[in-house]
Structure 1
């Protein structure tokens, strides 16, 4: 008997999938590499499949969740990746026979534990695993599950979709009901997956039935895809015993029978279980499924009221979220040295009108005294739509002052910070002043992340977690850029969400930086500062450490140095060349306004935005 194709069956039926594999393996005392048990304990794997099928599962999945090369390498089995995956398919198909569907399971790499692989490397390993699974010709579909990071899931789906006509099920894991780890409403993430070719979109792991039902209330019924839900049995509980204690899930199979009814009411057609679920849970869901029919219409209800929606979703679209998906511009305007701030205010207004992602305000850059950037942000915030990104220097504040300053930023709603150590006081206009340096930028990054967890430097609660997104400075103008990888890793480990570079003045540096950071998942904003005159160029080239302008550019500037307009046109043309090169490799552009010449910054913003507009029209 030939099985009806899975999607055709789902078009008219509620199907029940299996439950957890690991839960039962742990119960049998097998707690190392579950996927290797396909080779070392095939009978135990087969017995689990059989138990789920006897409980009523219409769909089972292969024991291959972690059967990718880098995961198997932890146990020394990386050279057996093909054998492990294909034997898993063989075991599942033997137990499934001709009536039960078999899905080839692929688990996420980015999750609760950090993965050191780049996104490209993750995709490559996923394609390798998928090719071995598909090569068997015994599958009814692929199941991509426990993807907390939607960026990873979309990249994997985009790569896999052209390889097979089999159905692809994509299951996201959530930390909070209705909101992905990347801060997007679940409905947006599901819609994107459907557009990329997912045949079934759903949820699995971390949450129990209650929060999955709550999450799915905001999801419409898609014309091109069905919905799935694989909830955990419950939240984990800890039980003390003579061996020191253990974690366990609630034994609540009857609750799953009731929950299955509510999940089906929200449009779910593929019901399964994740961590903690057993054949008893599957048996209970099967009882519910037998008396239920798929819904063809549903009422979509927002997860949150309007105010909470803004706070919990729109607010989470951070600078990092934005730069990961599109070209993003931030522009710096240095606070004035005097109390005549009218031109500064005009500059802020001009930048705000361009609709860029953030306006950055330095913190006494080059150790020269300027009006307090936080005070200026507080003064201008109400009349400015663009968020402010404030530099915070360790030079001018001890640990008391740093924490106080950060708490003040949170109170004022300033959530974007660039953490910097700061130039020594002897460089500035008060060379006798003391540089504090209770902390370096590394320690400041760690403090900010600690505040984001609701704890101050001493460990005491601050009653409410802050919501800072924090950048780190990076100087690419060094003799050997390839040796800076370790520095980048240290700042990321300390808590950096993104990097902002010092201004770059030659194309080769941008190219070298792109090669240096090509495997880094952390976004970079490339610093571009337009030259204002020949004298300005000579000063930067000869007196600022690490800055090197090409001899050709200096010669061309010198040739028109007495023609201010021609000099400016030439300098802007050079900045645009640098921008063009930067956008070949990076999404982030950081425009540094020289000497309050915000008109130059505005022209470069217009150039970038027009360039992006043309690109979108072409594509």
Structure 2
């Protein structure tokens, strides 16, 4: 009798965690490599679960694909590890007749990685073909946070085989995926795509897993599975632990059966002791044929209040628009900063932009200064948000605060590494890349949190992406812009450019983009600062001509500043012909220099009325 035939009449017990036991043995390196280096331990764990009563075990192949194995330098050993795992599982069940599922783990989490979906599917296909060749009883797709990855994987597998597929999602919040889709809808979609068993594993403990299944209807043509963690995780002396009594876990298994689940195993923290007790509780129970799902009424997500000011990415498509950057102070005296911001805004800046601890050095919080400027002086402000300083919790909290303060204009950037700043030993977080951050911000605009939970109201952010055109191959930089547009970027703000030819090259290379660009111009204050920018600041390069002109003024502060403004004006002559959006970076709080440039832009616009430019 095959796996699916058994599930028609029985509630089956699966095995528990492999990694938990390997960690308990002090083995915390590549688990899949142990299929070859320590086969006796892997086989022993399989036997322990079988002796505990498991009807189903899974191969030790969760991460046995080229992408995950590359972390250990084992990407060329995919076939070796998978074949060894299959052999060990078959030897373990040779006398008991248990079913074997080939385990395939999801790759994307909240962070989608820099890999494309096509690259992921190529790696998974290699593993799938090996598991199919091994003539197992089915495939187990587990710990999939990214629903698109799971659905595309199922589609790919169904072109290769009709063997049973167990497809399991993972959730941050009970009953909802991280993209906001309900678990009920997700399982129905997996069934439609050809999964034979649909369910949940990992992340949530028994309590929340049961809660999630209460809102799930019984599938019409598939069965349901659940592999909860032993409990919510805890950290003890730097090690992840799970606190769960065996009896509690087994009682939860019975409640999962009451919700219509027919395949019940364990994920992180579970051991053969858990599975033995689960088997004892489930062995005399029949599958549930009918249930009344507690379908939740969809929570209405309110639309955001209309914005008082037009988004910049809309305005710049029609007319001249100027963003001015003014860094917040590195000390507690704010009077000069406030005075500068007021002057620049009165001079005609559409918005005052503030970096997020530029060059990884602490400054007064841009959300604090943005609030002061907005609430006390009516100045529109635009904070940067870096991926460096905040984890996902901090990022969402920060963004929710910005929306509450009606600071809706933001620039999402990666952030300079901590090694260049005041605290080189500080930790860089980088939970997500700037592209992923843009996507997550746009998810907030749909009223969905990073974890998939409803926010009850849509955020109202206009999101800019950073653009570094100072690279050897501009086409590659433009390709990154195209990807950022796919992730949701509304417009772009460039690093400062110091060459008329480069400005023209940028205009030509980006004219096909749907998102407008603000071209960056920053006046130089001295030859020393010019050399510093050119040689030490990532993303900024000066032309030989500019460096020579600044060097000719070296030592005369007034002449250096005058020459810096003159160079910037010449660049503006070209920039204004090709771009509606101008981004002026104020150096060292020298906003008097920026004011000169703003006045010059007004003069150019008066002279060039009626001349069309690129957006």
TM-score w.r.t. length of structure 1: 0.58
Aligned partner of 1:545 among 548, 556, 578: 578
Aligned partner of 2:219 among 215, 218, 222: 222
Q: SS of the counterpart of 1:11?
A: helix
Is residue 173–residue 203 contact of structure 1 (8 Å, CA) maintained in 2? yes
Aligned partner of 1:297 among 282, 290, 294: 290
Is residue 59–residue 89 contact of structure 2 (8 Å, CA) maintained in 1? yes
Residue 127 (structure 2) aligns with: 129
Aligned partner of 1:108 among 106, 109, 115: 106
Residue 178 (structure 1) aligns with: 175
Is residue 208–residue 234 contact of structure 1 (8 Å, CA) maintained in 2? yes
Q: CA deviation at 1:471?
A: 2.6
**CA offsets 1:531-561 (integer angstroms, 9 cap, x no match):** xxxxxxxxxx9963269xxxxxxxxxxxxxx
Q: CA deviation at 1:71?
A: 1.1
Residue 370 (structure 2) aligns with: 402
Pairs within 5 Å for 1:350-429: 366-367=320-321, 393-395=351-353, 400-403=368-371, 410-411=403-404, 417=409, 419=411
Is residue 232–residue 273 contact of structure 1 (8 Å, CA) maintained in 2? yes
Is residue 21–residue 271 contact of structure 2 (8 Å, CA) maintained in 1? yes
Aligned partner of 1:471 among 436, 460, 463: 463
Is residue 392–residue 418 contact of structure 1 (8 Å, CA) maintained in 2? no
Residue 39 (structure 1) aligns with: 36
Structure 2 residues without counterparts, runs of 5 or longer: 324-348, 356-365, 375-398, 414-433, 445-455, 494-505, 518-573, 581-609, 611-615
- C-alpha RMSD over aligned residues: 4.5
Aligned partner of 2:490 among 473, 489, 500: 500
State the alpha-carbon separation in 2 of the partners of residues 513 and 45 from structure 1.
54
Q: SS of the counterpart of 1:184?
A: coil
Q: CA deviation at 1:233?
A: 0.4
Pairs within 5 Å for 1:219-618: 219-240=216-237, 245-303=238-296, 306=297, 309-310=298-299, 335=310, 366-367=320-321, 393-395=351-353, 400-403=368-371, 410-411=403-404, 417=409, 419=411, 471-473=463-465, 481-484=474-477, 498-501=488-491, 544-545=577-578
Distance change >3 Å, CA 203–CA 126, structure 1 → 2: same
Q: CA deviation at 1:196?
A: 0.8
**CA offsets 1:75-97 (integer angstroms, 9 cap, x no match):** 11111100101110111011112
Q: SS of the counterpart of 2:268?
A: coil
Q: CA deviation at 1:53?
A: 0.4
State the alpha-carbon separation in 1 of the partners of residues 225 and 511 from structure 2.
40
Q: SS of the counterpart of 2:32?
A: helix
Q: CA deviation at 1:273?
A: 0.2
State the alpha-carbon separation in 2 of the partners of residues 122 and 188 from structure 1.
24
**CA offsets 1:371-423 (integer angstroms, 9 cap, x no match):** xxxxxxxxxxxxxxxxxxxx9944499754534658897348x79755399xx
State the alpha-carbon separation in 2 of the partners of residues 476 and 250 from structure 1.
48
Distance change >3 Å, CA 65–CA 512, structure 1 → 2: farther
